[in-house]
Structure 1
Amino acid sequence: MMNGERLVAIFAAVLAVVILMCGAADGENRYVFVNWEVSYAVRAPLGVAKRVITINGRFPGPLLNLTTNDVAHVNVVNTLDEPFLLTWNGLQMRRNSWNDGVTGTNCPIPPGSNWTYVFQAKDEVGSFFYRPSLGLHAAAGGHGPIRVNNRPTVPAPFPHPDGGDLDVLIGDWYNMDAPRMRAEYLDVGRDLPSPDGVLVHGLGPYEADVTLQPGRTHRLRVHNVGARTSLRFRVQGHALLLVEAEGAYTQQRRYAALDVHAGQSVSVLVTADQRPGPYYLVVSSLFVQPELVGVANVLYAGGRRPKPGNAPLGRGGGDDDGYARSMDEARSVRMNLTCGAARPNPQGSFRYGAIRVDRTILLRNGEAQVAGRRRCTVNGVSFADAATPLKLADRLGVQGVFKVVSGRPERRKRASLGTAVIDARYRYFVQIVFENSLPSLQTWHLDGYSFFVAGMGWGKWTPNARSTYNLVDAIYRSTVQVYPASWTAVFVSLDNEGIWNLRSQDLGRRYLGQETYIKVSQGTMEVPDPRDELPMPSNALLCGKAKSLKLGQA
């Protein structure tokens, strides 16, 4: 197609999308505009001063509060002294990997500049969070909660919590800053040491307050925003009724305590039906020695404030720190098939277990010496960020930026450094198997999608493992853990065209190369149909090899 014809096609596509989006927003849906200034501040949550990333002066950042199908405009003003990007952990960003906020899809926002993300919370509901995606920024803060609320016509499968919703951000914390992490550990091939502690809502032990209304039920939306550590949380003297995990309603089951692995989000209902406290919200590290504990005060409104230092420690619900217990608990989290999520039809109407699998992608994580330096690998390739975002290179026809790989372990004499992209066909139904031969738990996240966590098991995966899968009510989420010397299998319907990041949620391992991308395309069209993928935004930043190009030149 000639440049002029191509521009006409693109203009028509843009016009169609504008009409579609304006029609949606002018009806039941809304435009939501927020302006976020990203800056540095000095905080000492564990008693050691450190430069942290704040949003509008807040650490953690403000709530992004949406309703299903809202169109969000998030203007990010970067006042840092280095480039910056935000990514949206768990939001599916339908048809819109252009706004995913990772280096494979977006040019970083330069210091002193701004950029506006525009995306729709299309057909989704639930609890998510945002966080920085460049380098080790996520270890310095810059995160905050996201809620996507139900439309009034689509009720949740539980009474509206009369005590309201509370966002609870938990995570491990390092007193050292990013330059030291790189210079003393990651860049010289060493693992990061154990964290220095655990924060609750950006605060150290006994500093954060969670206020409950006596006799009322509250929805706690809990997010593990830490750098790497699996955490177990509980509310002293109160049962946790699990109701949602990253946008999927769960079978409602009571737990004394729950595991939340790095990058995961869950919602629990807690009823303030005990005598006035005080009580404590206790967050304990898993699989880390010595154990780290974060504590927040749980106050009944009007009740007395507790004295620091009296919280009962231990993980609750049994102090077993073992992987077997954790896997059993993970298997107990199942999808509620009797209700809808963002739509009124039951979630179980999508019978994933009866669909033929078009392709299996097997991903084996590992460690290897690459160019004389210890790196983390996926199928023998340690990912290297390109100066040109992969999405830009693909759309503008820039050659030599990334290499297409098979998505299966390849025979190679030694590990290599590369920018690997798995090519996948739009609307295929795919099985992704994560194999972990390492002695530490791994957590994986796929941008742009949720997937059915069909199976987990010990040892190496084989096709015979399918006989152990849950093919009826597996939980549907975007972040999943893979235990040491084990595998996890997920099913995903590739119905969201674009180039999507598949990454470790362990910040150090991702920095060392444990990530890849999946390119989901129809493989036949120069300009995708705007019903399947939105056009390149008019405000797209250009960098790397694409810096001198304009849309239509490639």
Structure 2
Amino acid sequence: MARRNKGALALLVCICLLIASAEAEAPYRFFDWEVTYGDISPLGVPQQGILINGQFPGPEIECQTNDNLIINVRNSLPEPFLLSFNGLQQRKNSWQDGVSGTNCPIPPGQNFTYHLQAKDQIGSFFYFPSLAFHKAAGGFGAIRIQSRPRIPVPFPPPADEYTVLIGDWYNTSHKALQATLDSGNELPSPDGILINGKGPDGANFTVEQGKTYRLRISNVGLQNTLNFMIQDHDMSLVEVEGTHTVQNSYTSLDVHPSQSLSVLFTANRPARDYHIAVSTRFANSTLNSTAVLRYAGSSLPVSRWLAAGPSDVNFSLNQARSIRTNLTASGPRPNPQGSYHYGSINVTRTIRLANSAGQVGGKRRYAVNGVSFVEADTPLKLADYYNISGVFRLGGIPDAPPVEGAAEVRNETAVMDSDHRSFVEVVFENSEESVQSWHLDGYSVFVVGMDVGNWSEQSREGYNLEDAVSRCTVQVYPRGWTAILIALDNVGMWNVRSEVWARRYLGQQFYLRVYTPTHSFRDELPIPDNALLCGRATATNSSRLASRY
């Protein structure tokens, strides 16, 4: 009898282990997208836009933490195309990053299937086309990563959630804008601002009086910081690019290029229509646009309202400093976010990155530490994998900017090398009069300090080493600096870029190679079976090339 009980117990344990194993794999979500050109006129001027499944903006990706996303993209454009997923960190998998340094473009008439995972992530993000100047034609859409049902969220469930994609926009075609840059000229000012792909009062959001709503806001534009406000309503900031924040109240919020955030607001005003106002900041001329916030059942139209947004750098700087991590909240896991004490880790390397501009061969170029990035004929990730020499220069980006006036801007396909699991301090320095916005693929970074003036080692005394917000896109104010700390725990080839898109197109970017000699699949996933091959890593010769792995 005892032997039978032991056998039954063993069988029960096996069944439980099988069930646990089956439940351990996160769900799969499948998307089938076709990318085409189509006629759009968001500001009333007909133009050619990039549509996904006939939509502008494109379809929304809705998923939960750890979900596997299988996104099949068919390129029906007459030119190569790539999508990148801004803020959706690919752990150990820069093969799926969707930028020219990691992926071959999808040829016209062909498809590529992205295999992504929202691994240990929550929050608000977006996707966009990364090649040429496609971003100026559309092709972008929202990403929502919801918390798993059992993970507590630090606010009551809202009555509803709305995506708000804001961005500056040109009536000029993206090809004409690209030609302007290629000829060595600068872009003119944008023609307007879009809210969810529509011009003034084209977008509307319906709410019920007394209920609380969540807005997931992303700046998908090309260059402008945008100020966001709701007429007669305060907003509570609750999330920034996957980090739950201290829930401060704001009347308006600056959203810099490529940044995303979430706010809660309560429909607690008299029932009528109100304006949501979006306006450019730090620009030579101010552009404004509005959407309509409609109280259900109200017949009172929106009243005339001229949004008086902030106008000075100090306001925006102080607001940015007030954004801090909610240390009592869970993130994608049930443990409090504050259990990771980033401020007590020893920094192993300091990197100072300065943006600059100059002429190379009689044409305008933008640079990082004096180096203007030149696209290669082969994705850098493939060249590294197959040991193809001459595609890029490792160590081509110095750890500090040249002494002022000591060196001119030069063109080079340069890669910065780094060690896996090092803990790095990066200081972005801005000597220009415009706001800069920087993004690092594959990572979230701790934004520990920012100020106007020059950075020095004494600046570290003012760093926030307790509850700095962790995010993937950071701004640097005019004549100022921003300091971040990064745990380089994600092996791969990752794009570091300006999110002022003309600057990025003209060279203000580079790739960071996070390297480990172990070549274990524990540290980095193998090259995908469906990887596209191009340039010097074509299907014909790839079998002859030795890989590093």
Q: Which of the five TM-score ranges fits, normalised by the shorter chain?
A: over 0.9
Partner of 1:384: 374
SS in 2 for 1:251: coil
Q: Distance in 1 between the 2:305 and 2:489 partners?
A: 47
CA contact (8 A) 1:396 1:551 kept: no
* CA–CA distance in structure 1, aligned partners of residues 542 and 384 of structure 2: 13
- 254 and 55 in structure 1: CA distance in 2 versus 1, 3 angstrom threshold: same
Mapping for residues 194-343 of structure 1, pairs under 5 Å: 194-304=189-299, 306=301, 310-315=303-308, 319-343=309-333
Q: Which among 84, 87, 98 is matched to residue 95 of structure 2?
A: 98
143-152 or 298-307, which deviates more: 298-307
* Residue correspondence of structure 1 range 59-458 to structure 2 within 5 A: 59-161=56-158, 163-183=159-179, 185-304=180-299, 306=301, 310-315=303-308, 319-405=309-395, 406-410=398-402, 413-458=407-452
Q: Structure 1 residue 552: deviation in Å?
A: 6.7
Structure showing greater Rg = 2
CA distance, structure 2, for counterparts of residue 94 and residue 552 of structure 1 = 29
Percent identity (aligned): 51
Q: Is the 8 A contact 1:357 1:429 kept in 2?
A: yes
Query: 2:536 matched to which residue of 1?
Result: 545
Gaps of 5+ in 2: 1-18
Q: Which residue of 1 aligns with 2:501?
A: 507
Say if 2:530 is the partner of 1:534: no
The structure 2 residue matched to 1:465, chosen from 449, 459, 464, is 459
Question: After superposition, what is the alpha-carbon deviation per residue over 1:486-544, rounded to whole angstroms, capped at 9, x for unaligned?
Answer: 1110001001110000001111111110001100011x23xx21111100000000011
Per-residue CA deviations over 1:339-366 (Å, capped at 9, x if unaligned) read 1110111111111111110111111110
Preserved CA contact (<8 Å) 1:169 1:224? yes
1:435-481 deviation digits (Å, cap 9, x = unpaired): 11111111000000000001112222211110111111111000000
Tell me, yes or no, if the aligned pair for 1:25 and 1:71 is still in contact at 8 Å. Answer: no
Q: Alpha carbons of 1:24 and 1:112: their partners in 2 closer, same or farther (altered >3 Å)? A: farther
Give 1:305 shift: 6.9
Q: In 2, Cα distance between the equivalents of 1:551 and 1:148?
A: 39
Alignment of 1:485-500 (within 5 A): 485-500=479-494
**Which residue identity lines up with residue 101 of structure 2 in the other structure?**
G
2:184·2:362 contact (CA, 8 Å) conserved in 1?
no
- Residues in 2 aligned to 1:25 and 1:447: alpha-carbon distance in whole angstroms: 31
Residue deviations 1:404-439, cap 9 Å, x none?
A: 124333576432101111101000000111111111
Q: Is the 8 A contact 1:212 1:301 kept in 2?
A: yes
- Alpha-carbon distance in structure 2 between the residues aligned to 1:171 and 1:160: 28
Give the Å deviation of 1:28: 5.8
Q: Which shifted more, 270-279 or 115-124?
A: 270-279
Looking at structure 2, the residues matched to 132 and 490 of structure 1 have their Cα atoms a distance apart, in angstroms, of: 27
| Separation in 2, partners of 1:212, 1:407 | 51
Matched, 1:475 2:462: no
2:44 to 29, 42, 47: 47
CA distance in 2, matches of 1:311, 1:100: 44
Classify 1:473/1:552 alpha carbon distance in 2 versus 1 (closer, same or farther; 3 Å).
farther
Aligned counterparts of 2:530 and 2:399: Cα–Cα separation in 1: 33
Structure 1 gaps of 5+ residues are 1-21
**Alignment partner of 2:223: what SS?**
coil
- For the Cα contact (< 8 Å) 1:438–1:485, is it kept in 2? yes
Do the aligned residues in 2 keep the contact of 1:388 with 1:546 (CA within 8 Å)? yes
Q: Distance in 2 between matches of 1:93 and 1:458?
A: 33
RMSD of aligned alpha carbons: 1.6
Preserved contact between residue 278 and residue 297 of structure 1 (Cα < 8 Å): yes
Q: How many residues align?
A: 523
Q: Is the 8 Å Cα contact of residues 84 and 108 (structure 1) preserved in structure 2?
A: yes
Cα drift, residue 551 of structure 1: 5.2
Shift of 1:26: 4.8
Counterparts of 1:152 and 1:28, CA distance in 2: 16
Q: In 2 relative to 1, CA 231–542 (structure 1 residues): closer, same or farther, beyond 3 Å?
A: same
Aligned-partner Cα distance in 1 for 2:456–2:212: 45
User: Residue 181 of structure 1 aligns to a residue in which SS?
Assistant: helix
Deviation at 1:23, TM superposition (A): 8.7
Q: Does the 8 A contact of 2:437 with 2:474 survive in 1?
A: yes
Q: Residues 305 and 76 of structure 1: is their aligned pair in 2 closer, same or farther, counting only changes over 3 Å? A: farther
CA contact (8 A) 2:147 2:153 kept: yes
The Cα shift of 1:25 comes to 7.2
CA contact (8 A) 1:299 1:305 kept: no
Return the alpha-carbon distance in structure 1 between the equivalents of residues 430 and 131 of structure 2: 25
Structure 1 residue 62: Cα displacement: 0.8
Range 31-40 or range 283-292, more displaced: 283-292
Q: CA deviation at 1:221?
A: 0.2
Q: CA deviation at 1:387?
A: 1.4
CA distance in 2 between partners of 1:217 and 1:272 (Å): 6
d(CA) in 1 for partners of 2:72 and 2:320?
37
Counterpart of 1:273 in 2: which secondary structure? coil
Q: 2:217–2:262: 8 Å Cα contact kept in structure 1?
A: yes
The 1-side partners of 2:301 and 2:376 are apart by 51
For residue 182 of structure 2, give the secondary structure of its aligned residue in structure 1: helix
Work out whether residues 82 and 105 of structure 2, in 8 Å CA contact, stay in contact via their aligned partners in 1. Answer: yes
Q: Which amino acid aligns with 2:77?
A: L
Match of 2:232, as an amino acid?
G
Q: Deviations over 1:311-351 (max 9, x none)?
A: 41224xxx331111111110011111111110111111111
Kept in 2, the 8 Å contact 1:396–1:552? The answer is: no
Of the structure 1 ranges 286-295 and 117-126, higher mean CA displacement relative to structure 2 is found in 286-295
**Aligned-partner Cα distance in 2 for 1:233–1:320:** 10
Cα distance between partner residues in 2 of 1:295 and 1:305: 17
Give the drift of 1:287.
1.2
Cα distance in 2 between the residues matched to 1:509 and 1:23: 49
Query: Contact 1:173 / 1:197 at 8 angstroms: preserved in 2?
Result: yes
- The answer as to whether partners of 2:132 and 2:178 remain within 8 angstroms in 1 is no
CA distance in 2, matches of 1:496, 1:427: 8
Cα distance, 1:302 vs structure 2: 2.8
Query: Partners of 1:539 and 1:203 in 2: how far apart?
Result: 37
CA–CA separation in structure 1 for the residues paired with 2:452 and 2:212? 39
**Structure 1 contact 297–306 (Cα < 8 Å) conserved:** no
Length-normalised TM-score, structure 1: 0.92
**Match of 1:350, as an amino acid?**
Y
